[in-house]
Structure 1
Amino acid sequence: MAPETLAAALEASALGQWMRSGGAYPAANLLHLLGLSLLVGPILLLDLRLLGLGRGFALPEVSRVLTPFAVAGLALLLLSGMGLLAADARSLLAHPLMRLKLLLVAFGVANALLFRALWRTRLHDWDRRPPRWGRLQALASVLGWIGAAAAGRLIAYV
């Protein structure tokens, strides 16, 4: 199915119609903001710790505490984002910043999954021998999530 056809079907769906009526859209927007805070705050703190800041906090413990918040934030973002997209899918999917945002979100999720697969069991030794690729992934995570958030906010203004 062509992207334009899929976008039109999403707008015409019950979800799209519900999002355009009453208070569903503002509620989803607030949930999206909450999800953004729950994702980006913990991810940035964890990534900064991976980059060497806050060495007084044990990295495995920081990861154990912050990761569930980030996962909950991502889930909330994806659910609320689907509703927000359904309200105006055709114009949103045609917007270059929306495409950039979706690409950065996909990158952020893939980067996080790859990071967990590669480094999860090596966090205890991170400060003595930080892997260059692991640190590059942490930096890419910071830039990617900030970029996704910025692109999402700028859609309304550009």
Structure 2
Amino acid sequence: MEEFAAALEASWLGAAMRDHPFLYPLINVVHLLGLVLIVGGIGLLDLRLLGFARKVPLTAIYGLLTGAAGVGIVIQISSGIPLFASDATALLNNYAFGLKMLLFALALANAGTFRLLWSSRVADWDRHQPFIGLVQAALSLMLWLSIGALGRWIAYA
């Protein structure tokens, strides 16, 4: 993995991220926008699944909020690669970065599992909230907020 990180850091992408004065901050803002879309979409959906704003029909917002979060995930990955390329070898040894990547993988797995288990039963959610689904919603909220916090912590670790 260290050889890959060193090669990515030495690539044209890593050099461009380090050499152009506005490129890194611009990509970093785009990365933050992705996080806002994820936490905004999935965070609001998780809160609704946990019982907040029960007057809003879950079926009316499920597609919109998961779509926004999906766009956010694509933005996060596509902007995260150049950010990683700028300092890949150091980031590999950064515990906050490593934990963020682990939690990101867990959050994606949780989201995929939730979608497989419950997306076809969203209309029934208000009549019967499955305990496992509630646990998944709470876990999702905690994971995405932790990922955001760890992303900011990377600079200080």
Query: Shorter chain as normaliser: what TM range?
Result: over 0.9
State the number of aligned residues. 156
Matches within 5 A, 1:7-156: 7-22=5-20, 23-156=22-155
User: Which letter does structure 2 place at the counterpart of 1:73?
Assistant: G
User: 2:36 & 2:138 partners in 1: Cα distance?
Assistant: 19
Deviation at 1:128, TM superposition (A): 1.1
User: 1:124 & 1:63 partners in 2: Cα distance?
Assistant: 10
User: 1:53 & 1:150 partners in 2: Cα distance?
Assistant: 24
TM-score by length of 1: 0.96
User: 1:71 & 1:120 partners in 2: Cα distance?
Assistant: 15
Deviation at 1:64, TM superposition (A): 1.3
User: 2:84 & 2:125 partners in 1: Cα distance?
Assistant: 40
Report runs of 4+ in structure 1 exceeding 4 Å deviation.
none
Q: Identity of paired residues, percent?
A: 48
User: Which letter does structure 2 place at the counterpart of 1:113?
Assistant: G
Encode CA deviations 1:35-81: one digit per residue, 9 max, x unaligned.
Answer: 11111111110000010111101112111111111111111111111
CA-based RMSD of the aligned residues comes to 0.8
Encode CA deviations 1:75-128: one digit per residue, 9 max, x unaligned.
Answer: 111111101000000111110110000001111111111100000011111111
User: 1:70 & 1:43 partners in 2: Cα distance?
Assistant: 6
Deviation at 1:4, TM superposition (A): 1.0
Unmatched runs of 5 consecutive residues or more in structure 1: none
User: 1:53 & 1:35 partners in 2: Cα distance?
Assistant: 24
User: What is the DSSP-based 3-state SS (H/G/I as helix, E as strand, rest coil) of the residue aligned with 2:25?
Assistant: helix
Encode CA deviations 1:7-28: one digit per residue, 9 max, x unaligned.
Answer: 1011011111111111211110
TM-score by length of 2: 0.97
Unmatched runs of 5 consecutive residues or more in structure 2: none
User: 1:126 & 1:34 partners in 2: Cα distance?
Assistant: 30
